[in-house]
């Protein structure tokens, strides 16, 4: 892909993310409808849907032949028909948006022929923009991100939601991570996977682990970590798909082998739990 085209995609993705972030901030203090998807902890708001539609309209105005995969499923076409696909999470961390009004993000990724080309994650509440182009590095606003610090298990700050994940409980993985919590420096949870992956790229977290994420959760963050020099795979060590659910391990490169080794060595009886979905 020509560098000029990649820059154009990045510029549009940033414009979309900032426009979406602005809209979310405007709607935050206005009355809006909150609904459940699958449970009381799985929320969607009218703002999610409005923000996604805004981004879709902006993309299709410039690239009518591109496909779009969005969390709220508002794209009317079939994204598999397009070589270039945009993957959107209009508000990643909707529960945080509703309750805290911080720790949520807009995530936009561009994939060409199944390969990550552009990743943008925007935190409207802090005006922090994480972005990357394949082969051109990752940035937080104008600062280049490079993961050069050596990290050992006992020094690591990790992020995971596996402590109360129902599938993790089913296979006993929650117990493994509770034990891991006693071996690392500390555990954190922000509630926005895209933001948590971006924090790994920025060195604010040393690793992030999830048993199952959707492509709009990890599509942009994956590339941002990789372009910062980090590692991102499934829990089984496989490359992440761009259009399917998957477990995710995102990590400082010096810590990846130790973390993945710990996970794999303690899950030999739970192989079915970490198979790529």
Query: What is the set of active-site residues?
Result: 71, 89, 91-92, 94, 217
- For the chain, the helix, strand and coil percentages under 3-state DSSP, each to the nearest 5: 40, 25, 35
Distances (CA, A) of 197 to 25, 73, 189, 202, 217: 22, 23, 11, 9, 9
Instruction: Give the N- to C-terminal CA distance of the chain in Å, as an integer.
Output: 30
Distances (CA, A) of 22 to 159, 209, 260: 27, 30, 38
The DSSP line for 62-93 is H-TT-EEEETT----S-GGG-SEEEEEEEEE-
Contact 233, 240 (CB under 8 A): yes
What are the strands of the beta sheet with 231-233, ordered from one edge? Answer: 186-188, 157-160, 207-213, 246-251, 231-233
């Amino acid at each position: 892909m020509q560098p000029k085209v990649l820059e154009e995609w990045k510029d549009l993705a940033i414009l979309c993310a900032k426009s979406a972030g602005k809209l979310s901030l405007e709607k935050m203090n206005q009355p809006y409808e909150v609904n459940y998807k699958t449970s009381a902890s799985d929320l969607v708001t009218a703002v999610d849907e409005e923000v996604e539609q805004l981004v879709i309209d902006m993309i299709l105005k410039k690239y009518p032949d591109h496909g779009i995969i969005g969390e709220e499923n508002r794209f009317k076409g079939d994204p598999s028909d397009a070589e270039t696909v945009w993957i959107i999470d209009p508000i990643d961390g909707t529960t945080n948006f509703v309750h805290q009004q911080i720790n949520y993000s807009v995530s936009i990724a561009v994939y060409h022929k199944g390969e990550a080309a552009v990743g943008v994650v925007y935190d409207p509440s802090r005006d922090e923009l994480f972005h990357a182009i394949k082969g051109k590095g990752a940035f937080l606003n104008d600062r280049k991100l490079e993961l050069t610090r050596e990290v050992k298990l006992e020094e690591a700050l990790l992020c995971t939601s596996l402590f109360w994940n129902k599938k993790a409980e089913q296979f006993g993985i929650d117990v493994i991570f509770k034990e891991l919590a006693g071996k690392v420096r500390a555990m954190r949870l922000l509630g926005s996977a895209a933001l948590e992956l971006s924090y790994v790229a920025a060195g604010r977290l040393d690793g992030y682990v999830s048993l199952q994420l959707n492509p709009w959760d990890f599509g942009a963050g994956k590339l941002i970590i990789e372009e910062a020099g980090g590692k991102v795979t499934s829990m089984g060590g496989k490359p992440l798909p761009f259009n399917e659910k998957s477990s995710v391990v995102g990590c400082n490169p010096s810590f990846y082998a130790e973390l993945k080794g710990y996970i794999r060595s303690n899950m030999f009886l739970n192989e079915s739990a970490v198979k790529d979905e």
